[in-house]
Amino acid sequence: MERPRMELKMNFGVNDRLEQRMVLSPKIFRTREELVRYAEEQRAKRKEVKE
């Protein structure tokens, strides 16, 4: 059976992304409304970047 550590070593990009995930949690929310508003803003920003 292949070993995951070997698989991970081969899958070198995962290593790069692991480092990317060392960052702290970007934001927490007090209410669901605040969460939805933030998610909508992010959607609009992504749309803007695309356009």
* Contact residues for another protein, defined by CB under 8 A: 1-32, 34-36, 39-40, 42-43
Helix (H, G, I), strand (E, B) or coil at 26: coil
CA distance 50 to 11: 29
CA distance 16 to 25: 18
Question: What is the smallest separation between the CB atom of 48 and another protein, expressed in angstroms?
Answer: 13
